[in-house]
Structure 1
Amino acid sequence: MTDSTELAPINDLKAKFPNGVWTSRARRRLERLTPNPAAFGAWEGGLTWSSRIQEVAAPVPFQRPRALFFAGRYPDGWDAGAEDDVNVAMTDVETQHGVIGEPPARAGISTKLVEVSPSLGQGGPLLDSAEVEDAVLAGREVADKAIDAGHDVLLMTGLGTGAQTAAVAVCATFVKNDITNFLPTLVHPDGTVNDAAWMDRIVSLRDHLGAHRGFERRPEEIIARVAGAELGAMAAAIVTASARRTPVLLDGVTGAAAAMVARDVQLAAPKWCYMPNRPSHPVIDKLAAQAGFSDGMGLDVNLGDGAGLIPGWNVLQEALRTSELFGNASTD
């Protein structure tokens, strides 16, 4: 952990790449712990990432996690079929209820709800320049405060279907492909296909993106035109954490998209991030590869962004504990 970043403009922050030499050292250690070279299975990705972050061959469990839940509204239609679900998710976080709000409390993890300004567009960009600055400042401040308080790992995700649709927009913009390739089939609670909601989201998003073609790819423009305040604040928090050498666990399409926006600010920023839970989703599949994330840990929790955050954390911690126990046993 390094000193606070609050005095430096975000584009002036410098994030160093974690030292990749610890990957090979960690793998050699795992090979020595057991005669079966594949004994740690899908845990290996999380263990080697932790080695790079901690700069040791034998990583240990993290001690003081802080969960950050980002929330904001997006244009009408972006949450078609799940209107205002961001408000429900925010309430769940605040009341420690449901699949997003209860697991952190059960795991003893302190949480922070980061509510940002709406990204509504009104026929133009999602945000004006002042609103972009506010979103970036919100993300930087919440990350700095958590790190200043001694938290050694930040857990982040975005809330609401609108933000997940924004992640589709970010992905399509970055890889220069059509949005229909990144928005999976939607279903009703009873399991039947919800074609109407899928079409509404596609039409709303296509109308918006059609009015914002050909802009210069700078972080401020990405946030203003396609990412919006919620993903922009997340990206700023990731950049801040990476500049201060503090690891970040992400969940869902919002996490993957925010990491890519952060990469446009600091190329090394995604290397401080990890997604233990890696559900099969076209946005995650594409952006996790582009960001260079380590392999996931065999989880495929696909209940919406945030639902896999704490399960992923639990698996990573258990892998670190088990690796530590094996190491202790081998020296007895």
Structure 2
Amino acid sequence: MCAVRSVGMSERALDLDEFSDLIERPHGGVRREAEERRARTGLPERALGRLDELGEWLSAAQGQVPVRPLAHPRMVVFAGDHGVAGLDVSSRPAGSAAALVRETLDGDSPAAVLARRFDVPVRIVDMSLDCELDELPAEVTRHRVRRSSGRLDIEDALTLDEAEEAFRAGMAVADEEADAGTDLVVLGDLSVGGTTAAGTLIAALCGTDASVVTGRGGGGIDDLAWMRKCAAIRDGLRRARPVLGDQLQLLATIGGADLTAATGFLLQSAVRRTPVILDGVVSAACALVGQRVAFRAPDWWLAGQASAEPAQAKALDRLAVDPVLEQGVSVGGGTGALLALPLVRAAAALAAELPVTPEEGDKPDSEGVDAYEAT
């Protein structure tokens, strides 16, 4: 399938149903070729554990056997503030997500340290930070929809027009990354109140109670803050249930601009055949919404690690996705997803470079044995 640009939707109302037709699964035939190639290495079955599965997933996403090494990974982080943080549901004060963004831009956050160590460029996309535009670089703020999202427990996080604008912004970022040659995206988020929005989305889509999905967030809130967070999710759930059949309206009601943009990004990345590593509970919530929109889309996403957030476990179970790592990292910003990147790179290297027993009629490896490009 040829690459599909989001401009095809720009001249008319956004129709999320189109994604079901636009998104195809990674190439199944190529995955079988990768499995067969792995069987010819002579290594016992399961000797490399999950590395075999990761290499085959990446090979199918690329449409090529042997898999290409990852040459241009990129971390994309969607940032925003949430009005619900004003209820003191977070360890950080409401409206302070811009400080997290500056920390990452300065290279001082855990995600920034790992990205620098792993040689991964970082792109931060401000969707709804509660700060003046001139406080951050223009390339960070150019997609901003509004200052902070509304308080999801008593009002819509966004208007429907704002939700569409944010969704399209996420699609545009996905197109820009695909056009730039990004071959894998590490998806992150930076927000204050974002885990409350994510928990509400996951509870709504999984049909569960607020207490089941309410976690402690990245800062480890105390019991009183947890109770306030649980009450906010409960009230948000009441507002979400009537719009469960309309995913864009659902995001407008309880999601916020950053989560809406990340959902658009995930879906358009699947259209453009760009594999994505998910981070924590926020990206898991966006992936769950994306699954509702296009059931084949999750085949393009990999869960980097399991955090301590119970809502993430619910979402990944519903997505039928097993995390690569279980480190309990909840700091956000893409940290957990970045931790999985070396394993994906290792899987690609092993799948590409382990010698195989030639089949009858094969050319020598030096002449390109097993190279297969999907049409």
TM value normalised by structure 2: 0.79
TM-score by length of 1: 0.88
Mapping 1:106-117, distance limit 5 Å: 106-117=117-128
Aligned position for 2:337? 309
For residues 55-94 of structure 1, give each alpha carbon's deviation from its aligned partner in whole angstroms, at most 9, with x where no partner exists: 2343232211121101111122374223346333211221
Instruction: State how far apart, in whole Å, the 2-side matches of 1:88 and 1:317 are.
Output: 31
Change (3 A) 1:270 1:105: same
Deviation per CA, 1:141-181: give whole Å up to 9, x if none.
Answer: 21111211221222212223411221111110111000211
1:324 maps to a residue whose letter is A
Partner of 2:215: 184
Which residue matches 1:83? 93
In structure 2, the CA distance between the partners of 1:301 and 1:315, relative to structure 1 (3 Å rule), is farther
CA contact (8 A) 2:277 2:301 kept: yes
Equivalent position of 2:50 in the other structure: 42
- Give yes or no for contact 2:104–2:111 (8 Å, CA) kept in 1: yes
- Which residue of 2 is the match for residue 204 of structure 1? 232
Q: Give matches, 1:118-129, under 5 Å.
A: 118-121=148-151, 123-129=154-160
Say yes or no: does 1:300 pair with 2:315: no
Distance 2:172 2:198 in 1: 23
Report the count of equivalent residues. 328
CA contact (8 A) 1:27 1:48 kept: yes
CA–CA separation in structure 2 for the residues paired with 1:270 and 1:69: 19
Residues 325 and 58 of structure 1: is their aligned pair in 2 closer, same or farther, counting only changes over 3 Å? same
Q: In the alignment, what sits opposite 2:24?
A: 16
Q: Is the 8 A contact 1:271 1:292 kept in 2?
A: no
1:271 to 296, 299, 308: 299
Q: Which amino acid aligns with 1:4?
A: R
Report the counterpart of residue 134 of structure 1 in structure 2.
165
- Asked whether the 8 Å contact 2:30–2:63 carries over to 1, the reply is yes
Q: Percent identity?
A: 23
- The AA in structure 2 aligned to 1:38 is R
CA change 1:261–1:155 in 2 (3 A) is: same
User: Which range moved further: 48-57 or 76-85?
Assistant: 76-85
Aligned-partner Cα distance in 1 for 2:156–2:346: 44
Closer, same or farther: CA 38–135 of 1 in aligned 2, 3 Å: same
Q: Cα deviation per residue 1:210-246 (whole Å; 9 max; x = unaligned)? A: 3443224211112112222111100101111111112
Distance 2:300 2:156 in 1: 30
C-alpha change, 1:57 and 1:251, in structure 2 (3 Å) is same
- Higher alpha-carbon Rg: 2
- Residue in structure 1 matched with residue 286 of structure 2 by the alignment: 258
The equivalent of 2:204 in structure 1 is 173
Give the equivalent residue in structure 2 for 1:143: 174
Q: Distance in 2 between matches of 1:278 and 1:21?
A: 30
Root-mean-square deviation (CA, aligned residues, Å) is 2.6
Are the counterparts in 2 of residues 121 and 127 from structure 1 also a CA contact under 8 Å?
A: no
State the distance in 2 between where 1:285 and 1:188 align: 18
Q: CA separation in 1, counterparts of 2:278 and 2:252?
A: 22
For residue 207 of structure 1, report the CA deviation from its aligned partner: 2.5
1:270 deviation in Å?
A: 1.6
Task: Give the Cα–Cα distance (whole angstroms) in 1 for the partners of residues 76 and 38 of structure 2.
Answer: 32
Structure 1 residue 301: deviation in Å? 4.6
Letter in 2 for 1:113: I
SS at match of 2:8: coil
**Is residue 276–residue 315 contact of structure 1 (8 Å, CA) maintained in 2?**
no
- CA drift of 1:115 comes to 0.8
Asked whether the 8 Å contact 1:277–1:296 carries over to 2, the reply is yes
Cα distance per residue 1:79-124 (max 9 Å; x no partner): 4223346333211221121202222223222221111122123732
Give the Å deviation of 1:10.
5.3
Distance of aligned partners of 1:220 and 1:32 in 2 relative to their CA distance in 1, 3 Å threshold: same
Q: Distance in 1 between the 2:338 and 2:279 partners?
A: 9
The secondary structure found in structure 2 opposite 1:33 is coil
Instruction: Provide closer, same or farther for how the CA distance between residues 43 and 79 of structure 1 changes in structure 2, counting only shifts above 3 A.
Output: farther
The DSSP-based 3-state class of the residue aligned with 1:114 is strand
